[in-house]
Amino acid sequence: MQPINVHDYEVLAQTQLARPIWDYYQGGSEDEISLRTNRTAFAQLRLRPRVLVDVSNSNLKTSVLNTEIDMPILVAPTAAHSMAHSDGECATIRGADAAGSGMIVSNDASFSMEEIARASQGLRWYQLYIHTLNEAQQLIKRAEAAGYQAIVLTVDTPLLSNRERDKRNAMGNFQKKYYPGAFSGNARHTINGSLDNSERAAYAGHTLTWDTIAWMRTHTSLPIILKGILTAEDATLAVQHQVAGIVVSNHGGRQLDGTIAPIEALPEIVAVAAQHCEIYLDGGIRRGTDILKALALGAQAVLIGRPILWGLTVQGSEGVRHILEILQKELQSAMILAGCPSIKQISRSLIQWT
Ligand SMILES: Cc1cc2nc3c(=O)[nH]c(=O)nc-3n(C[C@H](O)[C@H](O)[C@H](O)COP(=O)(O)O)c2cc1C
Ligand SMILES: CCCCCCC(=O)C(=O)O
């Protein structure tokens, strides 16, 4: 099958991955309610297209934190790409670069942040999990030296959630046996965190608080973005702590189960934070029309998680590039059909809640 959309890549990737890896990539937490809600929430938004608009000069270019990109689409941080392809994140970032997008490199990447940086000239941000302040300080220094342009601190993971697919597959043992370095390109995990460890020691810090943002600022002049915010209350605190950006996210339905979908949370967050920092969104984006809805509700750009892993599995860097270009083309066609030739012309009046 020649894949023509993101769903085709999903089907092909499943045939190529061992069950424990597929389930780790694909799964959510507990009953996977958040995972499903992320998709159904998009379907509940209806578009209100305008007609007889000159759309002959359609243009998807935009910028994030003053860096120009060809599309308002970035690669979300996802761990352990060597389980999808032997070139891991180096292939992923090459694909992102070739498409004119950019990548947020996971703290738990298979390759080191320096190796990944060498594979790309384009936009790269470093996603940080703080296990200890000492380790975090070193990771931030390395990210600066390797030319990363922002630090994305993930704040929705004080522990790794209960992921029952991973437990049933004994994913921790499988990974350690067949892909021993898959999660440790950068950080050496000094904690007991394991993908199927029922004790699940504090993964990324039970002790992180808003003071941690002030601490980070004393160690870097790079812009700080918080990933994993779902409420106006926390967005207001983020603004008070002068972050450069917020990623509205429920971690792709992989952390607290039963949350609101990011697309449902977006309007209240935009209302309090859009004047002060950039707002991005991820979770469940599979079509250009999903991206159009997120932009209409105030996102500056969206992040794509699992579909990138499917592209990487099926065709390495070419697959990543193709996934991004499919979404770019779908977004362009949706914008033209909705009467929006450029990103600036996309507005909230496009959306009707059902
Ligand atoms: C396999 C996998 C690994 C992930 N690893 C990380 C990670 O290391 N750091 C992080 O902040 N988010 C991680 N995420 C969450 C993604 O950044 C993103 O929030 C989510 O995948 C978006 O949803 P989507 O997959 O529906 O696009 C991971 C997601 C998946 C599916
Ligand atoms: C023991 C390594 C855990 C890596 C966690 C990566 C992640 O955020 C995920 O959702 O999975």
Tens digit of each residue's pLDDT (9 = 90 or more) over 236-248? 999 999 999 999 9
Residue 129 CA: distances (Å) to CA of 61, 67, 100, 280: 30, 24, 27, 19
Say if pTM beats, i.e. exceeds, 0.95.
yes
- Nearest ligand 1 atom to the CA of 152 is 11
7 classed as catalytic: no
User: Beta 245-248 vs 224-229: how paired, if at all?
Assistant: parallel
Q: What share of the chain is helix, strand, coil (3-state, %, to 5)?
A: 45, 15, 40
* CATH number belonging to the domain at 6-46+62-340, selected among 2.40.50.140, 3.40.1160.10, 3.20.20.70, 3.40.50.300: 3.20.20.70
ipTM of model over 0.85: yes
- Per the annotation, does 50 bind a ligand? no
pLDDT at 68: 97
pLDDT at 192: 46
pLDDT tens profile 24-78: 999 999 999 999 999 999 999 999 999 999 999 999 999 999 999 999 999 999 9
Q: Which ligand is nearest to the CA of 251?
A: 1
Task: Tell me the pLDDT of the chain averaged across its residues.
Answer: 95
Of the ranges 90-94, 118-122, 206-210, 334-338, which one carries the lowest mean pLDDT score? 206-210
CA-derived radius of gyration, the chain: 19
Contact 54/79 with Cβ under 8 angstroms? no
How far apart are the CA of 353 and the centre of ligand 2, in A? 33
Q: Is 80 exceeded by the pLDDT of residue 154?
A: yes
pLDDT at 204: 59
How far apart are the CA of 339 and the centre of ligand 1, in A? 32
Q: Where are the domains of the chain?
A: 6-46+62-340
pLDDT at 190: 46
- Percent of the chain whose pLDDT exceeds 90: 93
pLDDT tens profile 186-220: 876 544 456 765 444 456 567 899 999 999 999 99
CB of 249 within 6 A of ligand 1: the answer is: yes
Contacts (Cβ under 8 Å, ≥6 apart) of 179: 80, 82, 83, 110
CB of 193 within 6 A of ligand 2: the answer is: yes
8-state DSSP, 72: S
> Length of the chain in residues, anyone?
354
CB of 194 within 6 A of ligand 2: the answer is: yes
Q: How confident is residue 177, by pLDDT bands cut at 50, 70 and 90? A: very high
- Per the annotation, does 178 bind a ligand? no
Task: Tell me the mean pLDDT in the region 331-349.
Answer: 97
Chain-centroid distance, C-alpha 184:
19
CB of 108 within 6 A of ligand 2: the answer is: yes
Contact 269/239 with Cβ under 8 angstroms? no
- Per the annotation, does 285 bind a ligand? yes
8-state DSSP, 257: T
pLDDT tens profile 303-329: 999 999 999 999 999 999 999 999 999
